[in-house]
Amino acid sequence: MRRRRPVPPSPLPQRDGIDPVRVRLPQGTAWATVRDHLVDRLAAGPGVIDGMLDAGLIVDVEGRPVPRDTAYVPGMWVWFHRDLPPEVPVPFALDVVYRDEHIVVVDKPHFLATTPRGSHVAETALARLRRDLGLPTLSAAHRLDRLTAGLVLFTVRPGERGAYQSLFRDRLVTKEYEAVAPYDPALALPRTVRSRIVKERGVMAAREVEGEPNAVSEVELLRRRDDGPARYRLTPRTGQTHQLRVHMATLGVPILGDPLYPEVRDPVPADDFSRPLQLLARVLEFTDPVTGREYRFVSGRVLQAWASYEEWAGTPYDARA
């Protein structure tokens, strides 16, 4: 088997905690120049690409500007920084709960993405931490949905990232979530929910289909309020996209504030931080694969709809809502 060549180090530094974009020219002879390929591949338009090339903003592995007429060479790498549109700041603190020379564990607020993706780049936990902690090599060992709050593990040393990622891949991490959702007296709990969930690229919501289960969640009722919602402990045994949200909706008790389940709602403005999804990654427990130490971290956050439903919703509780 032919071994893949390692990615060379970036000749450009990070900018505000954000890595430069890297592009590897694929095999083929469809393009005469690097410029032609970038115009075809990127959605920026020929004028933008030409302007970046002329300004020396696209560089090769040595950090040298790539001229417009540079011949196309399969396997060549180029780097550049994107001009990012302004992002609405997420007005909530990102709390560091533990830090050493190997890992950083944070308690992420609702609405803050874990890593750059789509329209959320600078306003992400990773970019914030790189800037605030002065750790340019910091990487995420796993992801937490932007709308979900709670504990996230980051790694400090690039060479150790794979060891921590394997904890999640091999299901060696104990994760517990809390959720606030309607109470249904007819729903027998605790129970284990098993189903097959698929998430199609470009489709916002995941869905359950027939077939061998690939998603397993344990659902337990912790407490209910008289004439109010209930608080649940959710323990995922697998890691499918939106798994807990899908399973709670399937049980007929969708998590409060969920914009996708049981039905997709109209998007809210980017600066609307009201009614956050009432889902929290409460516990993260694992044995450190590098040091052998055992860790159990617990989020200090309180779900707003449990502390004060009316403050969260702006109206009295209505189980039919």
Q: Give catalytic residue positions.
A: 145
Which value, to the nearest 10 degrees, does the dihedral of the CA atoms of residues 220, 224, 228, 234 take? -20
Q: Which residues contact 109 (CB under 8 A, 6 or more apart)?
A: 90, 92, 93, 94, 149, 301
Compute the distance between CA of residue 57 and CA of residue 134 in angstroms, rounded to an integer.
Answer: 25
CA distances from 34 to 79, 147, 317 (A): 12, 39, 60
For 254-289, give the DSSP string: PPTT-SSSSSPPPPPPTT---S---EEEEEEEEE-T
CA distances from 286 to 153, 175, 208, 297 (A): 11, 9, 30, 9
Paired tokens of 236: 């995922």
Helix or strand or coil: residue 250? helix
Helix or strand or coil: residue 168? helix
CA distances from 161 to 108, 151, 189 (A): 20, 17, 38
Find the helix packing angle between 46-54 and 34-41, rounded to 10°: 140
Cis peptide before 267, with omega less than 30 degrees from 0?
no
